[in-house]
Amino acid sequence: MDHELILDVRDVSYRYPGAGAGADALAGVSLAARAGAVHAVLGPNGSGKTTLLRVALGVLAPATGGSRILGRPAAAWSRRELARVVGVVTQREENLFPQRVRETVLLGRYARLSLWGAERPEDRAAVTRALERCDVLSLADRWIWTLSGGEYQRVRLARALAQEPRLLVLDEPTASLDVRHEMELFQLVRALADRDGLAVVLITHHVNLAARFADRVLLLSGGQPAGEGPPGDVLSRETVERVFAWPVSIAPFEGRPQVIPLRKDHT
């Protein structure tokens, strides 16, 4: 693995229109995602994780700093070009019209199709590969609404893989999953970095799973970086307590820090 730099976000700041002075959603945040590595973005609700994703991918223009994808400024990519390099599993999506699994994964090929042309055999092959990779090939002909939460997330991941991206971005992919499906998804994401050489940015508030599966973590607090580096360096007791505003104990497990929230005394 050459660990090529895919996403390079440097020192970005962003303030939503209408927000007051000093109410920056992001201030001085940097993030680098490399091929074959998983980079977790951690932080409490409202700490700027999703805003960072939007700035990194050129949906929002930062006030200062900048984001480059494969060396080119994010704003210089068309959405179509970018979709061939970056696959995103967003936090939520709508299902306005009923769809089957294979159909929705085929939407991942949009950026690679010509305006009028039909799907080519290579598109169908990419869809099948993506379904297989996420272990949902057997669900290909099912309706989306019949899937369980875990199956649905893996189908959405398969759609992002059908884009054949270099960078995979996941925004809270395990938000409402139980332990088994959560672990399955994190292991799959880890394997996509290790075996397929994808750069992965994983946005989550799941500190412990991030600590176990990520190579590096970026901890955000109120839009500001509270630490960046290997999980063992960033997730100290002091930092975690300050960022999440709750007393914790840190216990090592398989060489990674695990955060155990403490009970506050009721006196």
Partner 1 sequence: MKWLGLGLVVVAAFLGAVVLGPVHVPLAGLAASDIVRTLRLPRALLAFLVGGSLALSGAGLQALIRNPLADPFLLGLSGGAGLGAVAAIALHLASPWALPLAAFAGALGATALVYRLGLVGGGELDPRVLILAGVAVGAFAAAVTTAIVSLSDAAELRNTFLWLWGGLSGASWDSVLVLAVYLPLPLAVLFAAARPLDLLALGEEPARHLGADVESLKRRVFVAASLLAAVCVAVSGVIGFVGLVVPHAMRTLWGHRHRPLLPAAFLGGGALLALSDTVARVAVAPRELPVGIVTALVGVPVFALLLRRWTTS
Helix (H, G, I), strand (E, B) or coil at 42: strand
Among 11, 30, 44, 103, binds partner 1 (CB under 8 A): 103
CB of 93 to partner 1, least distance (A): 4
- Using the minimum distance from each CB to partner 1, give the nearer residue, 39 or 159: 159
Please answer whether residues 4 and 34 qualify as being in contact, where contact means their C-beta atoms are separated by less than 8 angstroms.
Answer: yes
Q: Considering the rule CB under 8 A, would residue 20 count as an interface residue with partner 1?
A: no
Q: Considering the rule CB under 8 A, would residue 198 count as an interface residue with partner 1?
A: no
Q: How many helices (H) and strands (E) does the chain have?
A: 9, 12
Tell me the window of 83-91, 183-191, 208-216, 219-227 that interacts with partner 1 (CB under 8 A): 83-91
Least Cα distance to 167 among 245, 255, 56 occurs for 56
Q: Considering the rule CB under 8 A, would residue 200 count as an interface residue with partner 1?
A: no
Q: Considering the rule CB under 8 A, would residue 10 count as an interface residue with partner 1?
A: no
Please answer whether residues 80 and 161 qualify as being in contact, where contact means their C-beta atoms are separated by less than 8 angstroms.
Answer: no
CB of 40 to partner 1, least distance (A): 19
Q: Considering the rule CB under 8 A, would residue 59 count as an interface residue with partner 1?
A: yes
Q: Considering the rule CB under 8 A, would residue 179 count as an interface residue with partner 1?
A: no
- Using the minimum distance from each CB to partner 1, give the nearer residue, 169 or 214: 169
CB of 144 to partner 1, least distance (A): 11
Please answer whether residues 37 and 224 qualify as being in contact, where contact means their C-beta atoms are separated by less than 8 angstroms.
Answer: no
- Using the minimum distance from each CB to partner 1, give the nearer residue, 62 or 231: 62
Q: Considering the rule CB under 8 A, would residue 84 count as an interface residue with partner 1?
A: yes
CA 216 – CA 183 distance, rounded (Å):
18
Q: Considering the rule CB under 8 A, would residue 113 count as an interface residue with partner 1?
A: yes
CA 42 – CA 144 distance, rounded (Å):
30
267: how many CB neighbours lie within 10 A of its CB? Answer: 3
What is the layout of strands, in order, in the sheet containing 167-171?
Answer: 86-89, 167-171, 199-203, 38-42, 216-221, 224-229
The contact set with partner 1 (CB under 8 A) reads 17, 57, 59, 78-80, 82-84, 86-88, 90, 92-99, 103, 107-108, 110-111, 113, 115-116, 159, 163
